[in-house]
Amino acid sequence: MRKHILEEAMFMAHSYTCWEKVKMVMLKTFVCVAVYCTFMGSAYTQAATAQGQKNPEKELLGPYHDIKSLTTGNIAHAYLTFIENVRARQGTWSEDDWIQAKAVLRKLDSRTNSMNRMLKVADRSHIRAAQSEFRGMEARMAAKD
């Protein structure tokens, strides 16, 4: 009986160690992907601006284009402006335009995450609705291709 319990305990300890290793690998992978996406989004935006193209933040966010200066009082308005501009332009967009819009949304989401606990419940729900609507438009566009 004791031998069986000891074997089971050793198996559990081994499984736990393996699970911890899996979690570490997954975390490292997630961090690498997040860093890569952030770098590529900013590199793409900088390259587009350097080529004389419009700044996607200014184009999609209007007066809220300075994402770093957004506050809890105006970030929901930034999402509303973003989604209104995406709605208006989506019919004429190329794949590159969608990539730029995703980069802008990623920056907005990052700013939102940094202040999420301070946001009003109504603002959080407006933000989630805008995020969902964007994902839906993006999925419809991908389905057309």
Which region among 44-53, 80-89, 125-134 has the lowest average model confidence (pLDDT)?
44-53
Largest CA distance in the chain: 76
What percent of the chain has pLDDT above 90?
54
Query: Tokens for 143?
Result: 């389905």
> Residue 37 above 90 pLDDT?
no
* Terminal alpha carbon distance of the chain: 63
> 49 or 86, which is more confident?
86
Query: Tokens for 87?
Result: 């709605």
- Please state the three-class secondary structure of 16-54 as a single string: HHHHHHHHHHHHHHHHHHHHHHHHHHHHHHHHHHHCCCC
- Every domain of the chain and the residues it spans: 1-53, 54-145
Please report the sign of the dihedral spanned by the C-alpha atoms of residue 12, residue 18, residue 21, residue 26: negative
Question: What's the mean pLDDT in 117-144?
Answer: 93
Chain Cα centroid distance, residue 45:
16
> Residue 110 above 80 pLDDT?
yes
* Whole-angstrom distance, CA of residue 53 vs CA of residue 43: 14
pLDDT value, residue 36: 53
